Amino acid sequence: MSRNNKKLISGIDTKLFIKDATKLLPDPARRAFLRGGASLGTVAFLAGCDITDGTTAENALSVMSRFNDRVQAIIFGLNRLAPTYPESAITKPFPFNADYNEDQAPIVDGASYRLKVGGLVAEKKPWALSELYGLPQESQVTRHICVEGWSAIGKWSGARLSDFLQRIGADTTAKYIKFICAEGYSTSIDMPTALHPQTQMTFKFADQTLPRSYGYPMKVRIPTKLGFKNPKHVTEMYVTNDYPGGYWEDQGYNWFSGL
Amino acid sequence: MAKSAAVTLRSDAKQPEDRIVHPFWVRVTHWINVVAMMIMIGSGWRIYNAAPIFNFEFPRSITVGGWLAGALMWHFAAMWLLVINGLIYVTLSIITGRFQKKLFPIWPSEVMKDIKAALTLRLSHDDLSVYNAAQRVLYLGVIFAGVVVVFSGVSIWKPSQLQELTALFGGYDFARVVHFFAMSAIVGFLIVHVLLAILIPRSLRAMIRGF
């Protein structure tokens, strides 16, 4: 990803493109190709894109992924609600999914838990669980769709993230919100999605306190985004204008990942 | 020289522009489509493997992308190539009258007759500029499968923003099944299509140089 020694080529060499397909990303080291990559919105699409030797396909693909971020942001409707379902449609048992085993899910002590808030917000005081439970709560029965393709319907309850952002005096003209989790996981979303009425700081699953495997003490439920954009065990969030990436996003998964 | 003389004789000394079976835009969109389809099908198989719908997986070696994130990047990059190229092809086919001239009319009795002849390897491909009834049905069918594969794919990609489209395909999970079978229909067509191109090399040559 070095900015030096770059050859300027207009368009894409089809032969190289296909040849590179076979060697693309089997090696874990290559998966990191997006780390330190150009920030969102700064990469020109096709016309005038510069392609580095050796990583031609990877660079072209990340340019396309950034382009798809922008297309999805345009398609996204702030008042367009994700489909909701009757409680009879809820998937039982609801699948556990993470890149660790269920018994390795982080254990967070609710009594000492404080949600840290930072970045472009007026009030940076940390929030105790009891204070978060005191926010106006609502429920949704929506479909969780995994990037792998499977889906499951569940019931989540909690506070609207948009309400919370207002309370803490967040700069809602900023571009991004980053979420950091107890186990080191992280993800980030665009501000319009953060302000969407179904984007929820979740404290309950199936009317019970959020179990450890589903993200105790707080998950962020976003029915308009793929599952990996719905972080569990969230301990910190901050508002920023600098592209914040995320655990899977930095490895090549599409950042916007809207539904 | 001998080759071109033979061609000239067989076509009764027609002018080159009269002998063109596939105009330039058909050949260009055809080969771009080959690249786009190979990427879409190969990466689609890798994506399928991440959460198989049926009790089998595609062998890793014939998939594109290496791992799920790579396959998704290929899939969502090549979809633009597939769709834009497909739109150009369909638009030009309609305004030049190529669809109407080449694919219609289709009479069921002729289709049955030609399929029977094809299966017994007795179907004539003497005149490449006229499609027989079996070809007409197959080409129309694969264009239809292409339309279904694109719309069902978009409905899986955007089941919230385009939820009416997803509902049209029977909901998110069923839209995945539709997407899978549309892909299967295209792959089935490809097997027949490529086999026949090998059996009748003149048809392959015509798709490269036009006649």
Residues B182-196, mean pLDDT to the nearest whole number: 96
Q: Residue B174 and residue B127: Cα distance in Å, rounded? A: 42
Residues 6 or more apart in contact with residue A69 via CB below 8 angstroms: A40, A254, A255, A256
Domain spans in chain A, listed from the N-terminal domain onward = 14-75, 87-251
Residue in A closest to B61 by C-alpha: A22
Q: Residue A103 and residue A51: Cα distance in Å, rounded? A: 44
Is residue B8 in some structural domain? no
List of E strands, A134-233: 137-145, 151-160, 176-181, 186-190, 200-205, 208-209, 219-221
**Does A64 sit within 8 Å of B80, measured CB to CB?**
yes
Inter-CA distances, B160 with A71, A137, A155, B7, B50, Å? 15, 23, 17, 56, 22
The answer to whether B209 contacts chain A (CB < 8 Å) is: no
Q: Residue B32 and residue B34: Cα distance in Å, rounded? A: 5
Domain encompassing residue B132: 22-209
Q: Residue A63 and residue A47: Cα distance in Å, rounded? A: 11
Q: Are B136 and B145 in contact (CB under 8 A)?
A: no
Q: Among B68, B70, B76, whose Cβ lies nearest the Cβ of A24?
A: B70
Question: What pLDDT score was predicted for residue A7?
Answer: 35
Percent residues over pLDDT 90 in chain B: 66
Question: Kindly report the CA angle at B42 between A19 and B61, in degrees rounded to 5?
Answer: 70
Tokens 């055809």 sit at which residue? B30
Question: What pLDDT score was predicted for residue B170?
Answer: 97
Higher pLDDT, A238 or B123: A238
Q: How many domains, chain B?
A: 1
* CATH of residue B106: 1.20.950.20
Question: What pLDDT score was predicted for residue B133?
Answer: 85
Inter-CA distances, B158 with A226, B147, B165, Å? 10, 17, 9
Q: Residue B16's pLDDT band (boundaries 50, 70, 90)? A: low
Task: Please provide residue A156's backbone torsions phi and psi, each rounded to the nearest 5 degrees.
Answer: -120, 145
In chain B, positions 149-208, which contact chain A (CB-CB < 8 Å)?
Answer: 158-161, 163, 172-173, 176
Inter-CA distances, B66 with A28, A129, A227, B59, Å? 10, 42, 22, 12
Chain A contacts of B53, Cβ < 8 Å? 149
Residue in A closest to B155 by C-alpha: A259
CATH of domain A87-251: 3.90.420.10
Q: Residue B140 and residue B102: Cα distance in Å, rounded? A: 10
Question: What pLDDT score was predicted for residue B15?
Answer: 58
Question: Kindly report the CA angle at A243 between A237 and A245, in degrees rounded to 5?
Answer: 70
Q: Are A118 and A180 in contact (CB under 8 A)?
A: no
Beta partners for A209?
A204
Q: What is the pLDDT of residues B67-98, one digit of tens each?
A: 999 999 999 999 999 999 999 999 999 999 99
Question: What pLDDT score was predicted for residue A98?
Answer: 84
Indicate the pTM of the whole model: 0.83
**Does A18 sit within 8 Å of B76, measured CB to CB?**
no
The answer to whether B25 contacts chain A (CB < 8 Å) is: no
Question: What pLDDT score was predicted for residue A155?
Answer: 97
Token pair belonging to B143: 């264009």
Q: Among B47, B73, B172, whose Cβ lies nearest the Cβ of A145?
A: B172
Per-residue pLDDT tens digits of chain A, which is 259 residues long: 333 333 333 333 334 333 333 333 444 434 434 333 332 333 333 334 444 444 788 889 999 999 999 999 999 999 999 999 999 999 999 989 888 888 888 999 999 999 999 999 999 999 999 999 999 999 999 999 999 999 999 999 999 999 999 999 999 999 999 999 999 999 999 999 999 999 999 999 999 999 999 999 999 999 999 999 999 999 999 999 999 999 999 999 999 999 9
